[in-house]
Amino acid sequence: METQFIVINNQSTFADQPREIGDFKCAQHTDGSYQWHFHNYPMTDVGFACQADVDSCSCPRITVDEDSGAKVRERFMKAPDQCSLYAVHCETLEYSDDDLLPLLYSKDTVINNGAVLSDTFYDDLICIKEDSNVFNWYYSNKKLEDVSIKCNSKEEDFNAEKVCTCGAFPVINRIEMLGKYKYYQTKRYIGGEVGESSWTPSCKFKITCEEEFKGVVFSDNYDPIELSEIYVTCTYNPLSNDLRIWIVNSVRVINPAGGCFKKR
C-alpha cells in the first residue's frame, strides 16, 4: 500500500493510496487516434489536481435534522478553519423499519453519496467563492442552496428502489417524470413520445431502445446525455475508495434517470 500526503489544518498527514479511479486507460478511438478513455468512452482535456477546503467557514452553515436520526461529528476536529465537513451516520428510530441513509438536501435536489460504509462523509462537498464574492456550497459541479442533512430511505426520496451502492436509477416511462428537472434540460423532449424500456438498471447496464427511439439520461448536474451503445456504470469515486458514483459517457451524473425517446 502506497501513501500520499494530504493537508489538514496546514499540516501534512498520510492517506491510504492508491485511489481506485475505475476503468481509465489510453485506447484507440474510432478515428485511429489514441485518447484517454473512462469506462470505454473518450475524454478530452484530462488532468489531475489537489484541492483543500479553506473557505468552508464562509459558506452558509449546514443544518442537521437530528429528529430524523442524523448524527454528525466534525470530520477533521483539528482543523478549526473547516466547517460543516461532517462524518454522518443514522441512528435507527424505534418507529421506523426503513433502511435509513444520511442524505444531503438542497433546495432542488436530494443527494445520496453512494457510501459503502454506514458512517459516511461527503468528499464531493466543497465551499466555492463565486465571481460575485459570495460563498456557496457545491457538490461536484452541482450548486446547492439551503443545505441540510437528514436521514431517510432511498425509496421515499427517489421514488425508486436501490439498484446498487450508487443508489436509485429510475426508469422514465412517461413524460410527466421530467417535471423534476429544469425546463431548459427537458424542453426538446417534453413534446415527444416515450418508448418502452426493455432494460433493467443494475450496477452496469445498457439502455436499449426500439429502432425509432434513442436512450437519454437526465441528471441534476448535467445536460441530457443521449446514449449510443454505452454502458451506464456504478463505479469508484476517485476521491474515496468508500464512495461510489454513476458514470455515463465518461461523465459523473447526480441522481440520474433514463428512458427511450422518439428520434426527431
Range of the domain at 29: 3-43
Do 177 and 131 lie in one domain? The reply is no
Q: Which residue has the cell 413534446?
A: 191
Q: Which of 110, 131, 156 is the last residue of a domain?
A: 156
Residue 48 lies in a domain: no
Residue 158's pLDDT is 53
Average pLDDT over residues 143-165: 78
Residue 49 lies in a domain: no
Q: Categorize the per-residue pLDDT at 246 as very low, low, confident or very high, splitting at 50, 70 and 90.
A: very high
Do 133 and 76 lie in one domain? The reply is yes
Residue 15 lies in a domain: yes
- Rounded Cα distance between 237 and 121, Å, is 12
Residue 50 lies in a domain: no
Do 26 and 60 lie in one domain? The reply is no
218 pLDDT more than 80? yes
**pLDDT tens figures, 162-207:** 778 888 899 998 898 888 888 888 888 988 899 988 888 999 998 9
Residue 254's pLDDT is 92
146 pLDDT more than 50? yes
- Rounded Cα distance between 111 and 102, Å, is 9
227 pLDDT more than 70? yes
Q: Categorize the per-residue pLDDT at 59 as very low, low, confident or very high, splitting at 50, 70 and 90.
A: very high
Do 71 and 30 lie in one domain? The reply is no
User: What separation in angstroms does the CA of 97 have from each of 94, 105, 177?
Assistant: 8, 22, 28
Number of domains comprising the chain = 3
14 pLDDT more than 50? no
Residue 198 lies in a domain: yes
Per-residue DSSP letter, 156 = H
Residue 93's pLDDT is 58
Do 119 and 173 lie in one domain? The reply is no
Q: Categorize the per-residue pLDDT at 13 as very low, low, confident or very high, splitting at 50, 70 and 90.
A: very low
**pLDDT tens figures, 111-131:** 888 887 777 888 888 888 888
Residue 64 lies in a domain: yes
Do 233 and 206 lie in one domain? The reply is yes
Do 63 and 39 lie in one domain? The reply is no
Please name the residues in contact with 44: beta carbons below 8 A apart, sequence gap of 6 or more: 35
Q: Categorize the per-residue pLDDT at 8 as very low, low, confident or very high, splitting at 50, 70 and 90.
A: very low
60 pLDDT more than 90? yes
Do 196 and 174 lie in one domain? The reply is yes
Residue 8 lies in a domain: yes
pTM of this prediction? Answer: 0.80
Do 244 and 181 lie in one domain? The reply is yes
Do 171 and 125 lie in one domain? The reply is no
Do 150 and 60 lie in one domain? The reply is yes
Residue 1's pLDDT is 34
Residue 51 lies in a domain: no
Per-residue DSSP letter, 140 = T
Q: Which of the residue ranges 72-76, 124-128, 136-140, 186-190 would you say has the lowest mean pLDDT?
A: 72-76
Q: Which of 156, 180, 197 is the last residue of a domain?
A: 156
Which has more confidence, 55 or 96?
55
Do 129 and 73 lie in one domain? The reply is yes
Phi-psi region of 255 (alpha: psi -120 to 50; beta: other; left: phi over 0): left
